[in-house]
Amino acid sequence: MSGTGAKVLQLFASLSLLIALHEAGHFFFARLFNTRVEKFYLFFDFLFPFSGLLNFAIFKKKKGDTEYGIGWFPLGGYVKIAGMVDESMDKEQMAKPPQPWEYRSKKPWQRLFIMLGGIIVNVLVAIILYIVVFGVYGEEYLLNSKATYGIAVDSLGRSTGLRDGDFIKSVDGAPVDRFDRIPMAMIFSKDQRGTIELVRDGKDTTINIVPGTVNKMVKMQKGGFIMPALPAVIDSVFPNSTASAANFKAGDSIIAINGVPVRFRNEVDEQKTANYGKPMTITIMRDNAPQTLTVTIPKDSLLGVKYKPAEKYLSLDKMKYGLVGAIGKGFTFTFQQFGNYISQFKLMFGSKEVKASESVGGIISFGKIFPSEFDMRQFLMLTAFISIILAFMNLLPIPGLDGGYVIFLLFEMITGKAVSEKVMERATTVGLVLLLTLMVYANGLDIFRLFKH
């Protein structure tokens, strides 16, 4: 399966796994401290956040004191811990005297671990997945200095002042060692309006990042507007294709279209797109001599050629990790990604350049980050990153999220006075309504963008 269906399945599998493991973290620490867990649910068995509406489960089974189930509302999950004010809003239970097996009877530090359990597991899951990826697949990357033909850019890249064939050396004076780190260096440049130092036509050049560029990058969720430039040399021609009929051959190098010189594949693709359905003269270099071929490519169709693989022109650096190295890399990479996400979050809500309304997204935005064809390495890397996002978001000090409960517990541990259950109930209600509002807002933006495009 490929395309949208593959994206949906990957998103569903990734989120289901991470939600179940997050709730398992709460469950583990609750049971560790002899606290009764009444429910363990993947997804909600009610219309979140209204615990009394549409109460039914797709599956449920009681084992011991705990009912395990799968709810019908697929945006989250929960564990119902006895004696705790949570999304279930079980006021009847809270009106009874505390019991030894209840959450409210435990010491503050024990309750703190129960509340942090999901976040701890999310961080551990990210570490383990990164260890697996680096241990099994290693690491492969292109050093900026080894981008043989410089960069290739699309319209967004050109709007920044970059040009095909530029060799980027640094951003704001800081060298960028790996090619794939260029976009992030631009996003976090000085006030998002920094400078890019590069070599153009053999001369050192400095350009300013155009105001609005970073907002476009975040809004369009694009890091791929800068790619390694590659020559348009044909490796093979598909049978019964437009190229085959026009007598293209393996080894041909495309150097011009309609008399306009082209150096790289992206330039060829742009000229083809601009001339769909029209006769095109394509100049090729064959046996060290130029030849001109005429073709007409139907709209939304293909020329029918396969270019020589990128590895023919780019020398990738590869690193293999043993067990110890993979463990070390898994830990350091997890916390690097955590730091990157915090920086992106701050940028989204604290930058004059980036508009939150154009960069915030919901479930559809999550789905778009998955590739249209399943790739195990990509799936594990993206699942690990989403696990980091879930850990961070749950740590936010919003009542109804783990971070909200942590704030109340820290207050109790510092002052020695517990927050009253009445205050907890009201704060949780406000927090759940806020979460619902944010959820509707984020997913509403996704839907609006779909119709807009």
The model's pLDDT over 337-370, given as tens digits with 9 standing for 90+, comes to 988 888 777 776 666 666 655 556 666 666 677 8
Residues 6+ apart with CB under 8 A from 119: 22, 25, 391, 394, 395, 402
Question: Does 81 lie in the same domain as 53?
Answer: yes
CATH number of the domain bearing residue 223: 2.30.42.10
Nearest to 218 by CA among 40, 92, 353: 353
In the beta sheet, which residues pair with residue 319?
Answer: 139
Instruction: Specify the pLDDT at position 92.
Output: 65
- The answer to whether residues 104 and 98 touch, using CB atoms and an 8 Å cutoff, is yes
Q: How many residues does the chain have?
A: 453
Question: Does 161 lie in the same domain as 83?
Answer: no
Question: Does 70 lie in the same domain as 191?
Answer: no
Instruction: Specify the pLDDT at position 371.
Output: 81
Question: Does 128 lie in the same domain as 23?
Answer: yes
Task: Report d(CA 48, CA 54) in Å as an integer.
Answer: 9
Q: Angle CA(160)–CA(176)–CA(325) in degrees, nearest 5?
A: 140
Burial 33-62 (b: 16+ CB within 10 A, else e): bebbbbbbbbbbbbebbebeeeeebeeeee
Q: Is residue 329 part of a domain?
A: no
Instruction: Specify the pLDDT at position 453.
Output: 47
Residues 6+ apart with CB under 8 A from 301: 242, 276
Q: Is residue 39 part of a domain?
A: yes
Question: Does 20 lie in the same domain as 129?
Answer: yes
Question: Token digits for 19?
Answer: 């939600």
Question: Does 248 lie in the same domain as 225?
Answer: no
3-class DSSP assignment, residue 42 = strand
Q: Is residue 345 part of a domain?
A: no
Q: Is residue 257 part of a domain?
A: yes
Q: Is residue 214 part of a domain?
A: yes
Burial class from Cβ neighbours inside 10 Å (0-12, 13-18, 19+) for residue 391 reads buried
Question: Token digits for 440?
Answer: 């509707």
Q: What are φ and ψ of residue 314, in 5° steps?
A: -120, 135
Residue finishing a domain among 276, 308, 340: 308
Question: Does 240 lie in the same domain as 174?
Answer: no
3-class DSSP assignment, residue 122 = helix
Question: Does 129 lie in the same domain as 8?
Answer: yes
Q: pTM for this one?
A: 0.81
Q: Is residue 372 part of a domain?
A: no
Instruction: Give the total number of structural domains in the chain.
Output: 3
Question: Does 264 lie in the same domain as 209?
Answer: no
Give the chain's residues under pLDDT 70: 1-3, 86-95, 191-192, 218-224, 300, 348-367, 439-453
Instruction: Specify the pLDDT at position 239.
Output: 92
Residue finishing a domain among 229, 258, 275: 229
Question: Does 104 lie in the same domain as 175?
Answer: no
- The answer to whether residues 190 and 347 touch, using CB atoms and an 8 Å cutoff, is no
Instruction: Specify the pLDDT at position 365.
Output: 67
Q: Is residue 327 part of a domain?
A: no
Q: Mean pLDDT over all residues of the chain?
A: 86
Q: Is residue 281 part of a domain?
A: yes
Instruction: Specify the pLDDT at position 442.
Output: 60
Residue finishing a domain among 259, 280, 308: 308
Instruction: Specify the pLDDT at position 343.
Output: 79
Task: Report d(CA 190, CA 214) in Å as an integer.
Answer: 11
Question: Does 8 lie in the same domain as 89?
Answer: yes
Residue 57 to residues 44, 283, 392, Cα–Cα distance (Å):
8, 64, 29
Task: Report d(CA 425, CA 408) in Å as an integer.
Answer: 12
Question: Does 26 lie in the same domain as 123?
Answer: yes
Domain that holds residue 448: 4-133+381-452
Q: Hey, what amino acid is at 317?
A: D
